[in-house]
Structure formats: structure tokens, C-alpha cells
Amino acid sequence: MATTWIKALHKSGGIAAALGRSVGYIENADKTNGGELVYGYECNPVTAASEFLLSKRQYERITGRNQGKHDVIAYHIRMSFKHGEVTATQALELGRELAMRWTKGRHQFVVAAHTNTNNPHVHIIYNSVNLDCDGKYKDFRRSAIALRRVSDQICLEHGLSVVEKPGLSKGHNRAEYLGGEKASSVRGQLRSLMDVAIASSKDFSSFLDAIQVVGVEVKRGKQLAFKLPGGKRFMRQDSLGDDYSEDAILERISGRRVVAERQKTAVPVEGKHRPNLLIDIQSKIQEGKGVAYERWAQVFNIKQLSKTLLFLKENGIDSYDDLIKKSDAVSAEYDARLKNIKEVDTRLAEISELQKHIGTYSKTRETHKIHLALPAKKREDYFEANRANILLHKAAKKYFDGLGLKKLPTISSLKQEYATLAARKKRLYSGYYDLRDNHRALLAAKGNAQRLLGMDGNVSEREVMRRQNREHSYER
């Protein structure tokens, strides 16, 4: 299943050395079919490291900024796929599409498809400095999750598999779901990374380069120690077993030592036989056939469906009944919240209008009182001289009568009520936009699922499965 990770390449150890080591690794001719499986955007892959350096110097000259050894000079992305789903050429094109969407075409990048493992995978290195050399890519919190979403959507659009449950259950990590294996120890994970690096190395030095490129830190001392990406502590080489000593690694590289592949233990999946809406939708994408699909495709497109599928995955919705229940629940919550907001807004508007009329009534009361007390002969002249105030006073009185007010509330009581309602409105709006967007997304997901799988709006999951089985039998 398609997976991705992203790693920042820092300036430590020398900018030229760091760039050269990383770019050289991904462009290795032995892994890229003699360099055929390499693509450069706004740069020549052969001179990419030098071009990145040049843009870095231009950036420092234009902006005057230099972050020293903490400076990020580039970012490294790896994208891998389920065994047998893509060729090396297809992997290269998918990597190019991911790099273009992720950088929005604003940064130089190099893409290389590797063929040295059982299935092709892609490495991408993109320049931290933009093409105009006046700004840099700003990494953000949870960028790896955002990258995974972009990668998953690209794979779905091309009918490829993605990780079924990215928000995994407690006790299992993403890699374990990919392989369907029992949760491995920290040392087991390190050994797996070392196995891959050994298989692609020609000597011990290239092994160390390969293991660092995938994010493992190496510490030199009386003997080597390694730390996993994001790990808490280093593990000494002699604690990894006989097959991972320096002599054993050299023997494995030369072929004099062969290590049997470790046995993988399957993880039981809860609800294995439960009808799965995600699998049904993904199979439709991959098949691209069927009457329901053709009918749906006339109105929508594969990109919209891919977004729907990712939304369902991220929200843990894997059955049609779950989708309906969650959609109905969120719709009810959203409608209730919106109703309360409208009621508060209506009352706030009423208070504002009432305050305005009370103020006008108070300011014009004396004028109106004098007008009524004058004898008839003088009243008309006084009215003409004070027409505006007298009419405003009468309009305010008419407004109060319309509300059925026998006694006017005080301005202070209205201000207190207004403040209370304003605070309530603020609480109602807390999370409102997230709720609204979730409501819209669920309605879109429900509509797309119904259109694609030929469902009505009021059918049970059993009926859904009956219809799907009937359609599958018909297609066979």
C-alpha cells in the first residue's frame, strides 16, 4: 500500500556534503536503471546539488538571512507502493506528480525511482529555497499527515491501494498495518531498515550513507550505535545480533552470508467479515466499470471520489450504516446549533432596535410633552418647527405598542441581557465552522457513496450488500 515519509536535510556537516550525499544516493545509477529513472524540475539532475547551493546563496544575498547549522537546505520524501501495483516508470511519474502538488511548482526538485528492492519506490528531494530565491518552504506541524493525504489522493486517482486505516488502533503502527505483521520491537524495526540498506550497498561506507538517508542517526565511538527516526535513544551495534556486526554486514554485502527473511505474524483484524464500505468504494475506483460507476462518472469525477474515500478513512467510517448514523447525528447537531445561533442573533437584533427606540423616545419626550401642552393656535407652528423630533417620538411609541410593552425596560437591563447573549453566541460559534464543514463533508460522502454504489437514501446495510452482490453476479 502506498506510504510516504518526509525528512528535513540540515546544514550540519557542511551544506555541499549533505546535499551531495543525499542527491547522490537517490540518483545512484545502479538503482535507477543507469539514470533513466531520474527526473529534474527546474534543474538538471546531474548538477542539482550545485544548483540548490547557488539558489541558497542567492537567497542569503537577497534576504540577508542565514540560520547557520540549523538551516534546512532541502527536504527528502520517500513514496512506496504495494508490491506489484506499479512499474518503475509509473512510480517515477507518480513521484513527479506528488512533488509538483506538494511544492505547487515553486521549488526545484529531483525525483528518482529505485528498482533495487522487491517493488519500485520513489525518492524526492526538493530545494527549501523557492524559484525566485526570495523565500523558503515553511515546514508545519503535522506536515507528514498532510503529505500522506496528498499521496493517498494521487494513488486513489490512479486506482492504487492506500493504507486502509491511517488512524490505527492502539498498539500498532502504520508500518505494521502495511505488512500485516505483529508489532515489532524497536530493535526489530532498526534491523528491518538495516536489511534494506544492506541489500542496496556495495561496501560498508555506502551502507552507512544509505541508513542515514532513511533517517537513522549514526553515532561513532568504540563501536557504532544507531537511533531510529524519532527514536529516544541509540542502540549499540553489538545489541542487534550476530547478523548485524560490521563483519557480518560486509559478508552479507559480498554475498558470503545469507540471512533468512524473518517470519511475519499476521495481526487479527477486528470485524474481518463485516461489510466494508471503504473496500467497496476503492474497488470501484480500481475497476472503473459497472452501470452505477458509469452513471456516477457522468456527474462527478475520480478526484472527488478520492477525497470522499480519504474523508471516510480519516473519520473511521467503514460501513454504510455507520455513514448514515454519523451523518444523521452530525446533521441534527448542526441544525440545533444553527437554530440556537439564529435565535440569539434575532434577540440581539431586537435588543439593539429596542435600545435605539428607547434612546429616541427619551430624547424627544420633552419636545412631545410641550407640543401637547400648547394651545391649539400655537401647536401647529411648534409642530412645524419640531416636526422631526415629534414624528420620531410617535414612531418609537408605535414600536413599543407593537411589542405590547406596558413598561419600558431600563437600558442597563438591556445591556446586561445583550452581554449575556453575546457570550452565549461566542460559545455557540466555538467549533461551529468545523461542525459545518464536517456536516457538509458527510452529506457529500453519503451522496457520493449512494450514487456510486447504487444506493437509495433509506436502505439498510443488508439491502446494500444484497444489491452489491446482485450487481457483482450480473457483471460476472
Cα 436 from chain centroid (whole Å): 18
Least confident of 84-88, 314-318, 415-419: 314-318
pLDDT of amino acid 217? 87
CB 1 within 8 A of CB 172: no
pLDDT of amino acid 16? 54
Higher-scoring residue by pLDDT: 472, 258: 258
pLDDT (mean) for 26-33:
80
Using 50, 70 and 90 to split pLDDT, how confident is the model at 324? Answer: confident
Q: How far apart are CA 34 and CA 254, in angstroms?
A: 21
Would you call 75 helix, strand, or coil by DSSP?
strand
Would you call 362 helix, strand, or coil by DSSP?
helix
pLDDT (mean) for 175-193:
60
Q: How far apart are CA 70 and CA 12, in angstroms?
A: 7
Q: What are the extents of the domains in the chain? A: 3-162, 183-191+202-254, 274-362+406-476
Q: Which residues contact 196 (CB under 8 A, 6 or more apart)?
A: 117, 210, 214
pLDDT over 50 (residue 372) = yes
Model confidence pLDDT, tens digit, residues 191-217:
888 887 787 678 888 888 778 866 788
- By CB atoms closer than 10 A (0-12, 13-18, 19+), residue 305 is buried
Using 50, 70 and 90 to split pLDDT, how confident is the model at 452? Answer: low
Which residue type, as a one-letter code, is found at position 114? H
pLDDT (mean) for 181-187:
60
> Which listed CATH number (3.40.50.20, 3.40.50.2300, 3.90.950.10, 3.30.930.30) goes with 3-162?
3.30.930.30
pLDDT of amino acid 273? 36
Least confident of 61-70, 284-293, 445-454: 284-293
Model confidence pLDDT, tens digit, residues 261-302:
554 433 333 333 344 566 566 565 555 545 555 554 544 556
Percent of the chain with pLDDT over 70: 76
pLDDT (mean) for 39-48:
88
Question: What's the chain's average pLDDT?
Answer: 78
Q: Which residues contact 421 (CB under 8 A, 6 or more apart)?
A: 344, 347, 348, 351
At residue 418, what are phi and psi to the nearest 5 degrees? -60, -45
Please count the other Cβ atoms lying within 10 Å of the Cβ belonging to residue 266. 9
Least confident of 121-125, 261-265, 313-317: 261-265
pLDDT of amino acid 290? 53
CA neighbor of 152 nearest in space, from 8, 325, 311, 294: 311
Grid coordinates of 105? 511548482
Least confident of 130-134, 283-287, 443-447: 283-287
pLDDT over 90 (residue 179) = no
pLDDT over 60 (residue 228) = yes
Higher-scoring residue by pLDDT: 104, 116: 104
Model confidence pLDDT, tens digit, residues 1-15:
456 777 777 765 555
pLDDT over 80 (residue 229) = no
Per the listing, cell 447525528 goes with 329
pLDDT (mean) for 170-199:
60
H and E: helices and strands count for the chain: 17, 8
Percent of the chain with pLDDT over 90: 24
Model confidence pLDDT, tens digit, residues 403-439:
898 889 999 999 999 999 999 999 999 988 889 888 8
Model confidence pLDDT, tens digit, residues 329-343:
999 999 999 999 999
